[in-house]
Amino acid sequence: MSFVTTPHINAEKDAFGRTVLMPGDPLRSKFIAENFLENAVLVNNIRGIQGYTGTFKGIKVSVMASGMGMPTIGIYSYELFRFFDVQNIMRIGSTGAMQENVKVRDIVFGMGACTNSNYASQYGLGGTFAPIASYTLLKEAVAQAEQIGAQYHVGNILSSDVFYNDNSAANEGWQKMGVLCVEMEAAALYMNAARCKKNALAILTVSDSLVTGEETTAQERQNSFTQMMEIALNTAVNLEKNI
């Protein structure tokens, strides 16, 4: 077996499944491996970014953390797509609701990812690139959400480079345009998928509301957002069955 070493991943060429679930938090990666995957093996731990591969319902699936922000998910998703033959990456993370009808613990599927990032400038485009999810993943994930009776929303999300914004009114324009929620990674993931001709989707659980001020604890975000984990894993299984 050949070994591949990139600056951020050190693993065998076939260490990862065709589909990788990508939470931001390495501890969430560990939680998924221990509670959902069978025979999970740690395949990468460079910089503490834990990557595991095991099986779910007999299908090889991997889960690896991305860290926080577009630069980090940009690095890890690119290396997985380019050097480890990964075909599908599903970001599974937390998000802050920006619309009144989007409640804490609801699921949000990012059909599109608006952004205030300059990430797309590297492509030298003569306009504004619109990062979107892969329809194949989106369609299957929504079907899985329907099957388990999840409360979900599909639409535009915001991938922001800024967590603590000095402009207290920064979100108002996005809210006015109907953007459902804000997070920090999906746009870069979608752009990498487009450039590499691969598939990507953000499946998010609402951890707090910018409208009502309601929020969950860090422990809840790490361990209790199991609906999106089940949706992503079942989506991975059905993708393999339909190849």
Active-site residue list? 208
Return the HEC string of 119-165. HHHHHCCCCCCCCECCHHHHHHHHHHHHHHCCCEEEEEEEECCCCCC
Pairing mode, strands 107-115 and 3-5 = unpaired
Angle (nearest 5°) at CA 213 between 225 and 203: 30
152, 228 in Cβ contact below 8 A? no
Q: Which of 189, 100, 110, 172 is nearest to 142 (CA)?
A: 110
With b for 16 or more beta-carbon neighbours within 10 A and e for fewer, the 10-32 pattern comes to ebeeebbbbbbbbbbbbebbbbb
Angle (nearest 5°) at CA 176 between 98 and 151: 35
189, 160 in Cβ contact below 8 A? no
